[in-house]
């Protein structure tokens, strides 16, 4: 099997296919797979856990070999990587053909305001398709995650019933592969101050801006990522030394308690 793409879906399929006894080649355009999804620190650590597969980085797939069935993935330099099955996981685009772009302003998604209402009063958009200004990112984005779809559905339903509360939810996603759980919350901004918190079981990288947590990536460290989300939700100032110390209970020191 050849798996094309450097994100969560690709690595999850590669992991599952390998566990089922298949010979897997993972083809990634980037030098370090998963960097765009989890940042450089976590990507490097996860890269060391990719057991039992062949990883080819810095390669681009130009096409496929085979007449009646696929026999391989053809790279840009002409090399063919043999495969009976190829999985391409290189991103997605919302299908917007049924919406008039002049009316809805659609481009890469359906633009909505903070209550998820589109440019047309009474028409709302939520989930993967909705393009909104995320206060936790500070930019107009679309999130393709389960949590975003679930939480935006709540806000949109409330807005339809007259609730003025804006959409406000820390972005969060996860992945399980190669025996590892990875969680990403908030913004993975490589220009931010990055604080590593390494415990006996897992490791979390906290992304800080102006003394506040703006993002976190945890490997086998769900509890720390959850604490980071509470800190982001509350906009709580943190001490980087305390964040780095796995002996410090982050929730207790900040006084933040789960809702
Ligand atoms: C393989 C895969 C694995 C994933 N794994 C994870 C994960 O581990 N964690 C995570 O957080 N997220 C994951 N996601 C992303 C997550 O599934 C999506 O973010 C979520 O499903 C988005 O929900 P949604 O309701 O916005 O869109 P969708 O679930 O895509 O639902 C949209 C629905 O609208 C229908 N539709 C589209 N156009 C029209 C039309 N014109 N008329 C009528 N119906 C229409 C579609 O058929 C579809 O049923 C994964 C996605 C994929 C593809």
CATH number at residue 29: 3.50.50.60
Cα(6) to centroid(ligand 1), Å: 20
Minimum CA distance residue for ligand 1 atom 53? 9
Same domain, 155 and 178: no
Same domain, 68 and 107: no
Same domain, 153 and 176: no
* Domain of 195, in residue numbers: 172-254
Going from the C-alpha of 77 to that of each of 14, 71, 74, 80, 173, the distances in angstroms are 23, 17, 8, 9, 35
Same domain, 145 and 209: no
Same domain, 150 and 194: no
Ligand 1 contacts CB of residue 93 (under 6 A): no
Residue 208 is assigned to a structural domain of this protein: yes
Same domain, 153 and 179: no
Cα(167) to centroid(ligand 1), Å: 19
List of residues 6+ apart from 133 with CB closer than 8 A: 114, 139, 140, 141
- Report the distance separating Cα 165 and Cα 147, nearest Å: 18
Last residue of a domain, one of 88, 113, 137: 88
Same domain, 35 and 55: yes
Residue 250 is assigned to a structural domain of this protein: yes
Cα(128) to centroid(ligand 1), Å: 7
Give the pLDDT of residue 257.
54
Same domain, 69 and 120: no
Same domain, 155 and 196: no
Residue 93 is assigned to a structural domain of this protein: no
Ligand 1 contacts CB of residue 98 (under 6 A): yes
**Position in ligand 1 atom list of the atom nearest CA 146:** 11
Last residue of a domain, one of 36, 54, 88: 88
Residue 48 is assigned to a structural domain of this protein: yes
Residue 166 is assigned to a structural domain of this protein: no
Give the pLDDT of residue 259.
47
List of residues 6+ apart from 199 with CB closer than 8 A: 221, 224, 246
Cα(186) to centroid(ligand 1), Å: 21
Same domain, 113 and 187: no
Residue 165 is assigned to a structural domain of this protein: no
Tokens of 11: 């690595």
Same domain, 66 and 123: no
**Pairing state between β 54-56 and 25-27:** parallel
**Position in ligand 1 atom list of the atom nearest CA 127:** 26
**Position in ligand 1 atom list of the atom nearest CA 172:** 11
Give the pLDDT of residue 58.
97
- Report the distance separating Cα 38 and Cα 242, nearest Å: 23
Residue 72 is assigned to a structural domain of this protein: yes
Cα(232) to centroid(ligand 1), Å: 26
Same domain, 209 and 245: yes
Of 67, 83, 89, nearest in space to 177 by CA: 89
Q: Is 98 exposed, middle or buried (0-12, 13-18, 19+ CB in 10 A)?
A: exposed
Give the pLDDT of residue 252.
76
Tokens of 62: 């130009």
Provide the number of structural domains found in the chain: 3
Residue 123 is assigned to a structural domain of this protein: yes
Last residue of a domain, one of 36, 55, 88: 88
Tokens of 20: 């089922």
Instruction: Say what the pTM is.
Output: 0.92
Q: What is the pLDDT along the chain (259 residues), one digit of tens a residue?
A: 999 999 999 999 999 999 999 999 999 999 999 999 999 999 999 999 998 999 999 999 999 999 999 999 999 999 999 999 999 999 988 999 999 999 999 988 999 999 999 999 999 999 999 999 999 999 999 999 999 999 999 999 999 999 999 999 999 999 999 999 999 999 998 999 999 999 988 999 999 999 999 999 999 999 999 999 999 999 999 999 999 999 998 877 656 555 4
């Amino acid at each position: 099997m050849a798996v094309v793409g450097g994100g969560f879906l690709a690595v999850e399929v590669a992991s599952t296919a390998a566990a089922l006894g298949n010979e897997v080649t993972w083809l990634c355009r980037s030098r370090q797979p998963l960097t765009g999804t989890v940042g450089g620190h976590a990507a490097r650590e996860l890269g060391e856990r990719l057991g039992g597969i062949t990883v080819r980085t810095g390669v681009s797939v130009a096409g496929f070999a085979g007449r009646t069935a696929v026999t391989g993935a053809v790279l840009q330099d002409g090399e063919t990587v043999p495969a009976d099955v190829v999985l391409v996981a290189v991103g997605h685009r919302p299908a917007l053909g049924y919406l008039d772009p002049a009316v809805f302003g659609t481009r890469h998604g359906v633009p909505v305001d903070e209550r998820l209402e589109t440019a047309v009063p009474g028409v709302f958009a939520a989930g993967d398709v909705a393009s909104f200004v995320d206060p936790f990112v500070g930019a107009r984005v679309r999130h393709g995650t389960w949590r975003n779809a679930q939480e935006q559905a709540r806000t949109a339903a409330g807005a339809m019933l007259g609730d003025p509360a804006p959409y406000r939810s820390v972005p969060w996603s996860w992945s399980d592969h190669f025996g590892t759980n990875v969680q990403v919350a908030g913004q993975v901004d490589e220009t931010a101050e990055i604080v590593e918190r390494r415990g006996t079981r897992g490791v979390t990288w906290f992304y800080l801006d102006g003394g506040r947590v703006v993002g976190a990536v945890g490997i086998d460290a769900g509890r720390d990522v959850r604490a980071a989300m509470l800190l982001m939700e509350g906009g709580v100032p943190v001490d980087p030394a305390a964040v780095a110390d796995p002996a410090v209970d982050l929730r207790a020191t900040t006084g933040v308690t789960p809702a």
